[in-house]
Amino acid sequence: MLKTIIVDDDPIVNFLQSKIVSKTGLDEEPTVFKEPQEALDFLKMNLREDASVHYLVMLDINMPAMSGWEFLDLLKEIPNNEQCHVVMVTSSIDRKDKRNAANDSHVVDFIEKPVSAKHCNKLKGISTLSVYFEEN
């Protein structure tokens, strides 16, 4: 099972992303966090060695309390963090951000805002994630 977590400091972005994620069938009920530390605390409590649940983290890069890159560094300290697949979601057009995302093993995609239904459907086809959307 793949559960989606949206981490963004903007409540409007969270609302819109949540609706798109739900409507496209990526996750009917995504979990939304405005504060990155709350998302990390949630993952600390929910990542289990024998868990059948993996997490797709839609992570904003530019947040005031903690950047997406800082979030990723802290995520790597959580046991069983390999159960997290991260999509960097940003308004940044900095090539350095794209390069950093490409070199991080947790990052499966880099999306420039706004997230669209097309983006969400594309995520379903990424090899790391497609297993969660195959028909039985």
pLDDT in tens, 66-99: 999 999 999 999 999 999 999 999 887 778 888 8
- The pLDDT of residue 3 is 96
CB 98 within 8 A of CB 90: no
Residue 136 included in any domain: no
Query: Is 31 part of a structural domain of the chain?
Result: yes
Distance between CA 130 and CA 96 in Å, rounded? 27
Q: Any idea what the CATH number is for the domain that residue 13 is in?
A: 3.40.50.2300
What's the chain's average pLDDT?
Answer: 93
Structurally, the chain folds into a number of domains equal to 1
Using one digit for the tens of pLDDT, what is the confidence trace for 3-48?
A: 999 999 999 999 999 999 999 999 999 999 999 999 999 999 999 8
Classify the C-alpha dihedral 16-55-43-81 as positive or negative: negative
Is 135 a member of any domain? Answer: no
Element (H, E) at 60: strand 54-60
Note whether residue 70 is domain-resident.
yes
111: containing domain: 2-130
